[in-house]
Amino acid sequence: MAVNMLRITSRRAISTSCQRSSGITVYADRLDYPAPPCRFVTEADLTSDMQALKTKEGGDWKELSLDEKVALYRLSFDKSYSEMRAPTGEWKYIVGGVFAACAVAIFFYGLQKKFIAPPLPETMSKEWQEAAVKYNIAIRNNPVTGIASQYDYEKNEWKK
């Protein structure tokens, strides 16, 4: 069922890729549907040279030169498949935007740390933590698996 739904929605998307609305043709080069049913250049936009080339299109293609074949291709499609797949360099803008957003976030973090955040509590100081370890050893806190199990009370030093 999901496959059928995907097939139906893809057909709808393909059919809408080349719609005419109020005289304007919406043409889009897409990798998933590289040959839309409409042409890139509409009949109304053809110049006299293009119209002459279009009449030659109905004849033998062996008589057409390579430039004429390319011009006929460009009447139907904006880009070739390899041009659509060519790298655009868009990743550079994305990476730059991510780095800019990170820089702004770090800047605001620094401002908050410096001017807004309260000072750290005294329990975060090195002296307080050392005193807490001495206290836990003195009261023999958790002697089986805790910090007191790593202290030798007979020699008054840490076990090795």
Same domain for 67 and 141?
no
User: What residue spans of 18-158 are helical by DSSP H?
Assistant: 48-57, 66-76, 81-85, 90-111, 126-138
The answer to which of 13-22, 53-62, 106-115, 144-153 has the lowest mean pLDDT is 13-22
Number of domains in the chain: 3
**Are residues 69 and 112 located together in one domain of the fold?**
no
- What domain range includes position 160? 121-160
The H or E element spanning position 6 is helix 2-15
Mean pLDDT for 8-34 is 64
Q: Say yes or no: 23 and 70 in one domain.
A: yes
Are residues 7 and 72 part of one domain? yes
Q: 67 and 127 share a domain? A: no
Would the CA dihedral through 96, 82, 54, 23 be positive or negative?
A: negative
* Pair (79, 101) in one structural domain: no
Looking at the fold, whether 9 and 29 belong to one and the same domain comes out as yes
Please state whether beta strands 20-21 and 151-152 pair in parallel, antiparallel, or not at all (unpaired): unpaired
CB crowding 72-110: b at 16 or more within 10 Å, else e: beebebeeeeeeeeeeeeeeeeeeeeeeeeeeeeeeeee
Average confidence score pLDDT of the chain: 85
Instruction: Answer yes or no: do 111 and 126 share one domain.
Output: no
Q: Residues 72, 111: one domain?
A: no
Q: What digits encode the pLDDT tens for the residues 115-125?
A: 999 999 999 99
Q: 8: domain CATH number?
A: 1.10.442.10
